[in-house]
Structure 1
Amino acid sequence: MVLFKVIAWLILVYGIIALVAKKARPSGFDLPFALPAILVGAILLVMLSLIVVVGPQEVAVVTTPSGVRSEPLHTGWHVIAPWNDIHYMDKTVWVYTCANSIGEGEKPNSDAIWAPTKDGIKLGFDVSVSWRIDANEAPWIYQNVTENDGGRSGRYLWLEENVIRAKLKSALALTVSGFTPIEAYSTKRNDIQQEILERIKDECKQYRIIIDNVDVREVYYNEEYEKAINAKKLAEQEALRLIEVTKQKEEQLKQATIDKNIAIEKAKGESEALKIKGQSISSNPKIIELEWINKWNGQLPTYMMGNGQGIMVNLNNK
């Protein structure tokens, strides 16, 4: 578009220079096509002034002498009468964030949204909302939402502060009240996100705002409740440790009982065996000689006591 305007101006300027030169020096060198150049350049400039270019990330609102046109201009080239005004609006996705950490959200301070759960315990939430205007409803937004002295972004900042934020807090509070702290913290977070999304979608329709997504990025317990949870976890861990110790001691006791019973049974067996052996020897003394023979290694004794003399004789002497 800019290139065409530059070309039109060059043609017009050329025609004007050629016409001036011809009048200043009638008998001198003439630049050709002075009048056609002026005519073509003027026509091109007039035509180009009627063309409005809407970018791919924009939508345009047309205001006429009779008011705001209900149909917006979408991406492309459009021919508009010169007595109409064009107002461009951003149709891209904006993201509004509430965060507990300073500097992460839209506010300079800690700005997590706190809401009570089913149990009455307040939890803090880091939440981001992805939203955009309904491009087809741009004329309504232009007429009903002020820019608030913020230029082309002022209208969107007003929507974020007065619509997105307010509706988000309301939808989150209503949703979280149906869940327990544990569910909100872990097991039901996706369900909470989806329910908040449905609620805020409905709430923002009247402002011609489209909500694309809601992200619950983080959940926080308040300080007192977090201390109580940590204390409970420590108590549970200690209880589990004691249970494990008790189990180990019970296993040790069982093993000791088993070992004891084995020893008793072994002793009983040995005692019974000795008893039986003693009875056998009493009834048959020859058993001792048989035992001696069975255990003899085939070697004669080296020493022997003399018969009734108390004298030890060495049998190895030759």
Structure 2
Amino acid sequence: MQSTIRFLLVSGFALGASGCTPHSTGSTEVGVRVAKVGLFEPKGVSPEPYPPGATYFFAPVINDFYLYDTALQNLVMSRDAGAGNRYGDDALYFKTIDGNDISVDVTVAWSIDPPKAPYLLQFVGPNTQSVEEKLVRPVSRTLIRDVLNSLASEQFYDAGIRFKKAEEAAALLNHYLNPEGVLISQVLLGEHRFNERYEQIIRDKKVAEQDAARLSSETEAAREQRRRELEQAKGVVNQAMEEARGEAQQKRIEADAIYYQRQREAEAILAEQRAKAKGIAERARALSGAGGRNIVKLKVAEALKGKPIVFVPTGGMDLRTTDMNDLLQTYAVVKGSSGDGGAGGDSSQ
């Protein structure tokens, strides 16, 4: 009986093998085969995935073939209906560290690790969509929420902090999902929303901060303008001072030159007057002796030269007291000296 059953199974397998059907993988797909009957191999999931871009032939009854898309997938969780993978509000809702309710749109870029496709078929789901719904989505929502609720409300307005937290969430997801056959490429944080009342408070605060920053900037600009104007005024004053100093120095040099010239002129005049005074003094000394009286007599004789001398006794002149000899002698000397240029016989007269 057992041999009969075995024969029938082998016959059925042979008939199935003779009618193998093709199974193809796309350019971004890997295949996983499941042996439903363990006749020539162990029953169950084949441990090696079938590479992309090829066609494989299997018996249709005793084998199942599953495809997984290994291209990059985007899990979009958004508040806007129709914008995400699910219709309706699918954003992440949680509380900030300071207790405010917030919702954040999140996109997770992920892909299947091809060698782990058989593992995913065994423990997660038979296709890419099931992997997203059963594994990627619940784990992503949980871990990203845990990362973001450590932020204060105002920190969500800082793009740098949000980017840093998105990178932290991606690293945490890879830590837990890589062993399960899922690779996380990036986590993107989209629009965030607080409740309406808190949103208005935040907007008013941001407007006030922007106004304060603008006023501070304008004040600093005005202060800088005044500083530039002061520096320009200092430059003008310094230039004027330098010009005045140079002009004063020029005037001083010119005055010193004039003073030196006048001093030299005064010294020359003084020297000339001293020489004249010295000459007068010397002449006075010369005239004070006997030679001086002779010079006076000579001058008188020169004054009487060529003039007739008539002695008329009057009551005002006493001839008896006049030294006529001396006078005539002096007159003769003058006359003789004036006639030296004439004939030699004039000296006997």
TM-score (norm 1): 0.52
| Percentage identity across paired residues of the two chains | 27
Larger radius of gyration: 2
Partner Cα separation in structure 1 for residue 27 and residue 213 of structure 2: 62
Unaligned runs of 5+ in 2: 1-16, 38-42, 220-349
SS state at 1:109 partner: coil
1:160 corresponds in structure 2 to: 132
Over the aligned positions, Cα root-mean-square deviation in angstroms equals 3.3
Structure 1 residues 238 and 52 mapped into 2: Cα distance closer, same or farther (>3 Å)? Answer: closer
After superposition, what is the alpha-carbon deviation per residue over 1:237-259, rounded to whole angstroms, capped at 9, x for unaligned?
Answer: 78789999x9xxxxxxxxxxxxx
Partner Cα separation in structure 2 for residue 178 and residue 105 of structure 1: 25
Partner Cα separation in structure 1 for residue 190 and residue 176 of structure 2: 22
Structure 1 residues 228 and 105 mapped into 2: Cα distance closer, same or farther (>3 Å)? Answer: same
1:23 corresponds in structure 2 to: none
SS state at 1:174 partner: helix
Partner Cα separation in structure 2 for residue 119 and residue 230 of structure 1: 18
- Please say if 1:57 is aligned against 2:28: yes
Structure 1 residues 124 and 142 mapped into 2: Cα distance closer, same or farther (>3 Å)? Answer: same
After superposition, what is the alpha-carbon deviation per residue over 1:31-83, rounded to whole angstroms, capped at 9, x for unaligned?
Answer: xxxxxxxxxxxxxxx99958754321211112223221101110254665645
TM-superposed CA distance for 1:146, in Å, is 3.7
Structure 1 residues 166 and 50 mapped into 2: Cα distance closer, same or farther (>3 Å)? Answer: closer
TM-superposed CA distance for 1:221, in Å, is 2.2
SS state at 1:165 partner: helix
How many corresponding residue pairs? 195
SS state at 1:75 partner: coil
After superposition, what is the alpha-carbon deviation per residue over 1:92-146, rounded to whole angstroms, capped at 9, x for unaligned?
Answer: 2221111122211122212221222232223221111111222111111112224
Unaligned runs of 5+ in 1: 1-45, 148-154, 247-318
Which of the numbers 127, 131, 142 marks the counterpart of 2:106? 127
Partner Cα separation in structure 2 for residue 85 and residue 111 of structure 1: 35
Please show how residues 38-57 of structure 1 align to structure 2 within 5 Å: 49=20, 53-57=24-28
Structure 1 residues 91 and 221 mapped into 2: Cα distance closer, same or farther (>3 Å)? Answer: same
2:66 corresponds in structure 1 to: 87
TM-score (norm 2): 0.48
Partner Cα separation in structure 2 for residue 243 and residue 51 of structure 1: 74
After superposition, what is the alpha-carbon deviation per residue over 1:238-289, rounded to whole angstroms, capped at 9, x for unaligned?
Answer: 8789999x9xxxxxxxxxxxxxxxxxxxxxxxxxxxxxxxxxxxxxxxxxxx
2:118 corresponds in structure 1 to: 139
TM-superposed CA distance for 1:169, in Å, is 2.1
Q: Is the contact between residue 31 and residue 66 of structure 2 (CA under 8 Å) also seen in structure 1? A: yes
Partner Cα separation in structure 2 for residue 146 and residue 99 of structure 1: 24
- Please say if 1:208 is aligned against 2:181: yes
SS state at 1:100 partner: coil
Please show how residues 1-318 of structure 1 align to structure 2 within 5 Å: 49=20, 53-64=24-35, 65=37, 66-77=43-54, 82=59, 84-147=63-126, 155-186=127-158, 187-233=160-206
> What amino acid is the match of 1:126?
D
SS state at 1:114 partner: strand
Partner Cα separation in structure 2 for residue 146 and residue 241 of structure 1: 57
Structure 1 residues 122 and 78 mapped into 2: Cα distance closer, same or farther (>3 Å)? Answer: same
Partner Cα separation in structure 1 for residue 212 and residue 163 of structure 2: 33
Q: Is the contact between residue 58 and residue 91 of structure 1 (CA under 8 Å) also seen in structure 2? A: yes
Partner Cα separation in structure 2 for residue 160 and residue 81 of structure 1: 28
Q: Is the contact between residue 31 and residue 51 of structure 2 (CA under 8 Å) also seen in structure 1? A: yes
1:305 corresponds in structure 2 to: none
TM-superposed CA distance for 1:173, in Å, is 2.1
Partner Cα separation in structure 1 for residue 205 and residue 169 of structure 2: 31
Partner Cα separation in structure 2 for residue 49 and residue 89 of structure 1: 22
